[in-house]
Structure 1
Amino acid sequence: MHGMWRDGNHFELLPEAARFLPAMFEAVDGARHSVLIELYLMESGRLASEVIEVLSRAADRGVAVLLLLDGYGAMGLAAEDRRRLEAAGVALRWFNPLGLHSLARNLTRDHRKLVVVDGAVAFTGGFGVVDEFLEAWYEVAVRIEGPVVADWIRLFSSLWDSPMSRGEGAAALVHGLEEASAMGPGYRGMRGRVVWGQGYRYQAIRHSLQRQVSGARRRIWICTPYFVPTLTLRRRLLRAARRGVEVCLLLPGDSHDHPGVRYAGQRFYGRLLRAGVRIFEFQPSFIHAKFTLADDWVSLGSCNFDHWSLQWNLEANQEVEDARFAAEVAELFQRNFAASQEIHREDWARRSRWQRCREWLYGTLDGLLTRLR
């Protein structure tokens, strides 16, 4: 599912936590009316303490602070931290806490990442509130102003008031938020739309990417930490490479929080390399970012290219059609390619028997996972 393409927006690329965390904290510290936050990962630690402090300051000023956390992804948030949030006046809700209901329902997680301040500025990306984002993981976010912020608010509102979300306080969102975003400062030439998915029923993010891959004429550059693409996407990437489009994948190297997912995806390397796809494995750290560039179209947000994102999770991405923004994203890709090890076809063909065994094992497990649906 997706919102309308809207003109008059401004998007600012914020690569690395050293840029996006201060920008978010500054926005929340400046909030006058409302702060809406939706996250998958939040666990107690240094970053969580900083976030709780900044949200508490906002609530103390009379700002309505609404925090929606996934019932599984935020299980690491200690009871004391939960009490601190509630004592400060933060309205806290939990999406789909684990329960004795169906397996499919327990597997459905809210993987979206969103911060909206005063209905006028929003942030999205792949971030969470865990200490790994301070230094250990490479992540990217985008700052959003303009009419598309209203679509992010509607997305948050629909889940906050959903029967799947449980908690106390703030039964309805602050009135006038959508109007505030629509009346924000105007910008020329930056088109954008919000695209979201809800498990295997609504895969608009995947369908949008597939259309872009099929229609791209110059480049398709994809960064994802969990690369286990569907057969349809693999075929479209292969066809694009064979018709002369520059297809590049920026993927994690040995630093990975789920190595088995990496091995499952590596079983596709051989065929991709033979078709002319270039594969870069990022070396400095685990790259957790999810962003894609196809000609001058950019998609950035929460969605990975694995079966969890595409079949079970609630996901949301910001799409942008703007040559200037695309040039910034291309420059970011180039910097990260330079910090990566390129996998060459000849070297990959000589990989060890043990590596091939791991690809087979985790690929088999991945195949079983696709039939759980």
Structure 2
Amino acid sequence: MQGNWRDGNRFTLLAEAEQFLPEMFRTLEEARESVILELYLMESGRLSDSLIEALGAAATRGVTVLMLLDDYGAMGLEASDRRRLEESGVALRFFNPLAWRSLAHNLTRDHRKLLVIDGKLAFTGGFGAVDAFLGAWYEVAVRIEGPVVADWVRLFSRLWDSSLSRGEGDAALVRRLRVAPVVHQDAQGMLGRVVWGQGYRYQAIRRSLLAQLASAQDRVWICTPYFVPTLSLRNRLVKAARRGVDVRLLLPGTNHDHPGVRYAGQRFYGRMLRAGVRIFEFQPSFIHAKFSLADDWSAIGSCNFDHWNLQWNLEANQEVRDPRFAKDVQSLFERNFLASQEVDATRWARRPRLQRLREWLWGCMDALLTRLR
């Protein structure tokens, strides 16, 4: 599912936590009417403590604060921190609480990341409220202003009001939210739309990426921390590279929070390398960011390109069609390519048997997961 392309937006790329975290906390301090926050990962620690304090301060001064966390992703948030939020006036809800009565139902998780201030300023990306984002993980975000902010608010509101969020009693809080996005005259031509997915039945994000691959004339660069592509995506990558498009993948190196996922994806390296796809493995730290660039078409958000995200999770990306913003995304990619090790096709073909065995084993596990529905 996807929103309409809207003009007159202003998008600002915020590379690394040193940029987006201070900006988010500054806007929280300036909030006067409402704050909505939707996160997958949140666990007790330094970052969550600062966030709880900022949200509580906003609620205390009369700001409506709605916070929606995924029940599984927030398992590390201690009961005392949950009480602090609620006692300060934050309306706190958890998406899809874990339950033994329906194990398959537990697989659907809210993986989206969203912060909206006063209905006119939003942030999205791959961030969460865990201390790893203070330096151990590399992440990016985008600041969003303009008409497309209203689409993000509507997306949040539908989930808040749903029975899955268990927030029916606070539906009136959402209805009180005012959405006042401004059309920026200096940003005419900066088109943006929200694209979201909800499990394997609604894969608008995947379809959008396939469309980018099909239409690209010059380049398709993709950064994702969990790269276990579907057959259709692998075929599109290969076809694009063979027709002369500059196809590059920016993926994690040995710094990875789930090494098995890396091995499962590496079993596809050979075919892509032979077709001319260039693969870069980021070296400084675990790269958790999810962003792409197809000519002047950019996307930043929550979705990884692995089977689990595409089949089960609620995801959302901000897409931008604008050469000015694309230039910033290009510069970000180029800096990260320089900090990466490019996979050499000849050396990869001679990789050790142990590496091949790991790829096979984790590939079997991935194949089993794709059959869970």
1:215, CA displacement in angstroms?
Answer: 1.1
Secondary structure, aligned partner of 1:194: strand
Secondary structure, aligned partner of 2:110: coil
Q: Partner of 1:314 in structure 2?
A: 314
Q: Partner of 1:102 in structure 2?
A: 102
Identity of counterpart residues, as a percentage?
72
1:168, CA displacement in angstroms?
Answer: 8.1
Tell me the distance in 1 between the aligned counterparts of 2:289 and 2:2: 21
Q: Are the equivalent residues in 2 in contact too, given 1:91–1:169 (CA < 8 A)?
A: no
Runs of 4+ in 1 over 6 A off after TM superposition: none
Tell me the distance in 1 between the aligned counterparts of 2:348 and 2:44: 41
Q: Partner of 1:60 in structure 2?
A: 60
The answer to whether residue 362 in structure 2 is matched with residue 365 in structure 1 is no
Tell me the distance in 2 between the aligned counterparts of 1:102 and 1:299: 34
Aligned residue type for 1:72: Y
Q: Partner of 2:323 in structure 1?
A: 323
Q: Partner of 1:156 in structure 2?
A: 156
1:322, CA displacement in angstroms?
Answer: 0.1
1:178, CA displacement in angstroms?
Answer: 5.6
Judging changes above 3 Å, is the alpha-carbon distance between structure 1 residues 299 and 370 closer, same or farther for their aligned structure 2 residues? Answer: same
Tell me the distance in 1 between the aligned counterparts of 2:179 and 2:287: 36
Q: TM-score, normalised by structure 2?
A: 0.98
Q: Partner of 2:141 in structure 1?
A: 141
Deviations 1:112-151 (A, max 9, x none): 0000000000000000000000010000000000000000
Aligned residue type for 1:4: N
Deviations 1:307-348 (A, max 9, x none): 111000000000000001001000000000000000010110
1:176, CA displacement in angstroms?
Answer: 6.5
Superposition pairs of residues 93-132 of structure 1, within 5 angstroms: 93-132=93-132
Superposition pairs of residues 204-283 of structure 1, within 5 angstroms: 204-283=204-283
Aligned residue type for 2:7: D
Judging changes above 3 Å, is the alpha-carbon distance between structure 1 residues 63 and 178 closer, same or farther for their aligned structure 2 residues? Answer: closer
Q: Partner of 2:50 in structure 1?
A: 50
Tell me the distance in 2 between the aligned counterparts of 1:225 and 1:18: 20
Secondary structure, aligned partner of 1:201: coil
Aligned residue type for 2:189: G
Q: Are the equivalent residues in 2 in contact too, given 1:252–1:286 (CA < 8 A)?
A: yes
The answer to whether residue 97 in structure 2 is matched with residue 87 in structure 1 is no
Secondary structure, aligned partner of 2:213: helix
Tell me the distance in 1 between the aligned counterparts of 2:127 and 2:214: 29
Secondary structure, aligned partner of 1:133: helix
In angstroms, what is the RMSD of aligned CA positions? 1.2
Aligned residue type for 1:322: D
Deviations 1:274-303 (A, max 9, x none): 000000000000000000000000011000
The answer to whether residue 199 in structure 2 is matched with residue 171 in structure 1 is no
- In structure 2, stretches of 5+ residues that fail to align are none
Tell me the distance in 2 between the aligned counterparts of 1:191 and 1:246: 24
Deviations 1:161-201 (A, max 9, x none): 110012586332455746412x4544312100000000001
Judging changes above 3 Å, is the alpha-carbon distance between structure 1 residues 107 and 20 closer, same or farther for their aligned structure 2 residues? Answer: same
Q: How many residues align structurally? A: 372
Tell me the distance in 2 between the aligned counterparts of 1:179 and 1:71: 27
Secondary structure, aligned partner of 1:7: coil
Judging changes above 3 Å, is the alpha-carbon distance between structure 1 residues 158 and 175 closer, same or farther for their aligned structure 2 residues? Answer: closer
Secondary structure, aligned partner of 1:127: coil
Q: Are the equivalent residues in 2 in contact too, given 1:93–1:167 (CA < 8 A)?
A: yes
